[in-house]
Amino acid sequence: MQRLVLSELSVSGDTETSTGLAQVQRAVQASQRCLVITGAGISVSSGIPDFRSPTGLFHQLKQKYPSSVTNGRDLFDATLFHDASMVNVFYSFMGELRTLIDRATCTPTHAFIKRLDEHGKLLRCYTQNIDSLEKRVGLETAFVQDEDAVDSTDSASKRRKQTMDKKFTRAVQLHGDLDTLICTICHTKCPFSHKLALEFREGTPPPCPRCKEIEVIRGIVGKRSQTTGVLRPDIVLYNEMHPQGELIGSLNEYDLKRRPDLLIVIGTSLKIPGIKRMIREMSRCVHDSAQRTQRAGAGKVIFINRDEPPRGWDDVFDYFIEGDADHAVNLLPIHGDKVALNDGESSSAESGQDPMSIARICNPVMSIDRICNPPVDHVPRAKSTAKKPKSLPSILPPARVSGLRKRGPGKPPARKITSMMKVVKSSIAKPKIPDVLRRSQRTRQRPPTASPLPS
C-alpha cells in the first residue's frame, strides 16, 4: 500500500506523492466499472459530525450525558430499548440529528460519486450514512420503482413492477435512513417531519397514528384493546438484523459478477465487521479483474481518509490518500481532463503521458481525433499493390463440385450409374448361351446314377 499525503503536494521536489497521485488519477480515468463505499467522513463538511473521531458523535454524547451514556456506541445498540432512561436520550439525540440533516448540503464527494454515475462508470455506491445526502444529489436509493412510475392499466407493466431491477438502485443505504419512521408493532412507515422531530427532541416516543386509529375502531366495535406501537427511526442499530439484508446480499453478489475494475473507499474507520468483509471481497474481485483487463491503470483499490487504516489492510489497498475527502476527489478527474495540483503542475504532465494518450485509454470509441492522430503502435499498414491471381471459374456448379469424390491426378471424374447403364453392363458381363448348350451342360454336370444289381 502506497501512502499519499495531500499536505505534501505543496512541498517542492516531492515527486513521489505527485507520481502516486498521477497513477491514482490514471486508474480512475481508465475505470469502467467502479464500486464506491462511503462512511461518515464524507458528510463532515456538510455540518454532520462523524462517529469515532475526537470531535465525533460518540465523544459528544459521552460529554452531554455522562450519567446515562458511558460509551457512545451504547446509544446505537438495540438493547437500549430495555432501559427507559436510555430510550429518552436516544429519542432526544435523534431529534437533534434530524435537525442537523435538514440543514446539511451535499458535499463535493457526493457530487463526485454522482459524476461517476452520469459518465457510466459507477456500478453502485454502498454507504453507511443515514443522512440520505446520496438521494439529494440524485442517486436512487429505493430498491423498487414507485407505483406512480408504472402504468397500472397495462398488465405487462404490473408484472414488471413486481420484478426488481438490480441496476435500478444506485446507492445502497446499509444502515437505513432518517427520512422515515417505522412503528414497532404494525411496521407502518411515515415521513420524519419537522413536527415529529420536535417531539423526538423532548425525549418522548410518539405513538403510531395507525395503531391509534385501529384502537379507536376496536373500541367502537366493542373489542378489547391492544398494545399501541410507537414510532422509531428506520435505521439499523448494533445487534439488530437488517430487514433488507437478503436483498442487499443479492445486489452485492450481482455487482461482484459484473467484474468491477476499481474500488474507492472514502471516509470510514473500518471498524464494522460487515463492512470489513465486504471491502475484502470486493478488493479480491478488483485485483483479479486487473489480470483480465488491458486498460492501463485499472484494477486498483483506493482508500481516502483522514486517519490511517488499522493493521492488516496493506495487502487490500493499493493507495492510501491521507487528507480531506473533498480535497482528494477534486484531484481525481473522470475523463482525462487536466487537474492542477498544488505545485502548479498538471496530472498528465506528472504521469509522463500526453493528454491525448490518456483520453484514448479512457474512451476507446472511435473519434475524429483518433482517426486523424492514431497511436504510433496502431498505425494501419499500407495496402499491398500486388494483384492477387483470380481463381478460374468452375465448370460444374458448387453443389456438383462438393459432391465429387476425391481422385488422384490424371483420373477422370466418376460418373453416376443409371438404370440403363446397369442393363447394358449386365448384358455385357453375362453373354447369352443357347438353350441346346444349356441342356448339354446340365446332362454333363448330372452325377452318374448307380446301375441295378443283376437278378
Collect all residues with Cβ–Cβ distance below 8 Å to 300 and sequence separation of at least 6.
23, 24, 27, 262, 263, 286, 290, 318, 319
Give whole-number Cα distances, 326 to 322, 347, 395, 453, in Å: 12, 18, 77, 136
SS3 343: coil
Concatenated DSSP letters for 19-73? Answer: HHHHHHHHHHHH-SSEEEEE-GGGGGGGT---SSSTTSHHHHHHHH-TTT-SSGG
Q: Report the C-alpha gap between 229 and 182 in whole angstroms.
A: 10
For the chain, the distance separating the N- and C-terminal CA atoms, rounded to the nearest angstrom, is 130
67 close to 126: Cβ distance less than 8 angstroms: no
Query: What is the DSSP track for 210-242?
Result: HHHHHHHHHHHHTPPP-PPPBEEEEEPPBT---
Angstrom distances, CA of residue 381 to CA of 189, 377, 378, 384, 420: 67, 11, 9, 9, 61
What DSSP designation does 315 have?
T
Which positions are catalytic? Answer: 175
Distance CA 291, CA 347 (A): 25
How far apart CA 294 and CA 343 sit, in angstroms, is 32
